[in-house]
Amino acid sequence: MRKHFVISTLLSVSMVLSSLSCIPGRTALAAEQTQGGFAEAVSQTAAPQALPADQNDPGYERLTGQYEPAAEENISGADSAVSTFSADAQGSGGFLSVNPATSGLKGYSSSVSAYTGKTYTHASNFDGMSIYNGIDVSYHQGTINWSNVKAAGIDFAILRLGYRGYSNGSLVTDSKFTTYIKDAAAAGIPLGVYFWTEAINVDEAVAEAQYVVSTLAPYQSSITMPVVIDWELNNNSRHGGLPKATNTAICSAFCDYVKQSGYTPMIYANVSDLNNNLDGEALGQKYEIWVARYNNIVNNATAQFYGNYSMWQYASSGSVDGISGNVDMNFWYTTGSPSSPVFSHGATPGAIATATPAPTEDDVDSLDKVTGFSAKSAAKKLSLSWNDVEDADGYQIYRKDTYNGSFKKVKQINDPDVTTWTNSGLSKNHEYYYKIRAFHKNSDGTVYSGYTSLTAATKSSSQSGIVKKSFILYKKPVKTAAKLMTLKKGMPVEYVGVTYRSDGSKFHHFRYHTSTKVYNGYAKAKSGLTYYTQGCTTAKLNLRKTAGTTGKLITSIPKNTFVPLLGTKKVKGTTWYKICFSIRKNTVTTGYVSGNYIRK
């Protein structure tokens, strides 16, 4: 069961900053490192010390204990209101809300982590938010039992996708990434990824982001948490000594590409680097920030970075069932959840200077996402349509043919007034996945909107089914998928189409509509239902007990709800359809709706 709590809003209290005087500072960088120009820095780092093959991995120093990203911090701007209260609450997992009426705690709330046994204080600006338990892992964790990890109360995981090596700057995928993402997704754990950067300029940062997005393509549907650039310095870093402005531009370039590719970008760094080697406060205005600071210096200390951040790596010595040895532990502060994330960073376009010149007043620096993206099915084609986007010069359409396949661009439209396209020559009874984005060209290059996605299947007719006996829907089209729900006899479902995987296996995709939610599920067989012609509501529509406007009103049905058409009746020249609908989960009501607002 997910362990999280809502932080109580409390009064603030001050403590003298001298209580932090025992914090050891990071050794100052040499003058030539902090003041030298970009070209000089590149020449100094172009030929790093040769390392054995396994030590080409930047994470090697962490594994061998030579380097801890957050053990010693040079805290700048430390808050004077750090609580030393030590909560005595005990629980079965995660962390617990402290009762301010009995604890005496003011200014902050604290909690005990079940994975370290220590008490942590959460900054007061997170009052009212939920906190979730997370881990981040790489091949260093070895074999992981992800089912046990989930049962231990872990709400999300950030997997290392890869890194840029020290010795030759090559891009490498973590040797456990493919295994981890498949197994963790099968266990139902919400996932994000991180990439350890060693980029020394913006072009290398973009190349790293392209590598990440390309590697993620088969697993796109499994990623709900952020895609992270991991910026760290240790003994052999290629980017040691670069100016703060260059480091900040590197992070910004990586994040911009990730965002254009439809993911939520995030930056990981420790407090010292966010304050001294990156413009952490400016980055936090535009992107999610993940702060590393371990709680081994002052008990109950907060993360102590005072720009915007939403995730805190608070320990590297966590103990989680399913993982042998230590693992990094994280708190995530949000008003959402890992499966339906809500991220907290501000949206301040152009807050950070990059290598690209600033746009002129006549240029467009952002585009709205495409809306109204829909498809009309036929036996071997899908007709796509969408609403036009202001200031767009055209649209790009991508498609993947299997659930776990990769997206490829299938159409570029260079006329902003064209908002339809028919994708012909497709296979019969086959589900396809599309995403579309708008683009605008200016003197500085091309600006893209975020992606809008659509799933549609080729089929000669649209069908809705009514369950003949209890019918199980699964969360994903995989043999080992967890159960989504069991539908009772009589429940109506939309039949979406046949979902294929890259190995040729197939599943049947269904959607179950209620007044408040649409459930997407999968089954191995199409049998067990009685099928009818399908209709779709084109407006919020009244369901009446009998045909005609004088019929007793039962409820209203949301726009774009698919329903089975069970029969017809004419009333004063108007066709009324008899349909059934689930007002609530696993309940069904039969009635009539006006045919004027039903699209077959």
Higher pLDDT, 168 or 313: 313
Q: Is pLDDT of 32 > 80? A: no
Surface-to-core class of residue 74, CB atoms within 10 Å of its CB (0-12 exposed, 13-18 middle, 19+ buried): middle
Angle between helices 244-260 and 202-216 (to 10 degrees): 30
In this prediction, residue 339 carries a pLDDT of 73
Q: Is pLDDT of 122 > 90? A: no
Lowest mean pLDDT among 36-45, 163-172, 553-562: 36-45
Q: Which helix (H) or strand (E) holds 244?
A: helix 244-260
Strands 463-467 and 109-112: unpaired
Surface-to-core class of residue 47, CB atoms within 10 Å of its CB (0-12 exposed, 13-18 middle, 19+ buried): exposed
What 3 state SS string does 136-174 have?
A: EECHHHCCECHHHHHHCCCCEEEEEEEEECCCCCCEEEC
Closest CA relative to residue 23, chosen from 72, 69, 79: 72
Q: In angstroms, what CA-CA distances link 486 with 186, 474, 489, 491, 522? A: 19, 9, 10, 10, 11
Angle among Cα 140, 146, 148 to the nearest 5 degrees reads 115
Q: Is pLDDT of 412 > 80? A: yes
In this prediction, residue 479 carries a pLDDT of 86
Angle among Cα 556, 557, 560 to the nearest 5 degrees reads 150
Residue 268, CA atoms < 13 Å, CB-side half-sphere = 28
Surface-to-core class of residue 569, CB atoms within 10 Å of its CB (0-12 exposed, 13-18 middle, 19+ buried): middle
In this prediction, residue 31 carries a pLDDT of 26
Q: Which helix (H) or strand (E) holds 421?
A: strand 420-423
**Domains 37-74+133-295+304-334 and 374-457 belong to one CATH topology:** no
| Calpha distance 462→494 (Å, rounded) | 9
Write down the domain spans for the chain: 37-74+133-295+304-334, 374-457, 461-600
Surface-to-core class of residue 65, CB atoms within 10 Å of its CB (0-12 exposed, 13-18 middle, 19+ buried): exposed
Fold of 37-74+133-295+304-334: TIM Barrel (3.20.20)
Q: What is the pLDDT of residues 177-221, one digit of tens each?
A: 999 999 999 999 999 999 999 999 999 999 999 999 999 999 988
Q: Which helix (H) or strand (E) holds 271?
A: helix 271-276
Q: Which residue has the tokens 């959460």?
A: 122
Higher pLDDT, 39 or 199: 199
| Calpha distance 391→381 (Å, rounded) | 30
Percent of the chain whose predicted confidence (pLDDT) is above 90? 45
Q: Is pLDDT of 46 > 90? A: no
Give me the helices (H) in 528-587, please: none
The CATH number of 374-457 is which of 2.30.30.60, 2.60.40.10, 3.30.499.10, 3.90.650.10?
A: 2.60.40.10
| Calpha distance 49→18 (Å, rounded) | 40
Lowest mean pLDDT among 21-30, 108-117, 288-297, 464-473: 21-30
Lowest mean pLDDT among 249-253, 298-302, 435-439: 298-302
pTM for the full model? 0.48
Q: Is pLDDT of 47 > 60? A: no
Q: In angstroms, what CA-CA distances link 504 with 183, 404, 430? A: 20, 11, 12
Q: Is pLDDT of 10 > 50? A: no
Query: Predicted confidence band at 227 (pLDDT cuts at 50, 70, 90)?
Result: very high
Percent of the chain whose predicted confidence (pLDDT) is above 70? 75
Mean pLDDT of 94-114: 43
* Adjacent-strand bridge partners of 510: 495, 521
| Calpha distance 173→184 (Å, rounded) | 17
Q: Is pLDDT of 3 > 60? A: no
Q: Is pLDDT of 400 > 50? A: yes
Mean pLDDT of 550-568: 90
Q: Is pLDDT of 338 > 90? A: no
In this prediction, residue 137 carries a pLDDT of 96
Lowest mean pLDDT among 352-366, 511-525, 553-567: 352-366
In this prediction, residue 79 carries a pLDDT of 29
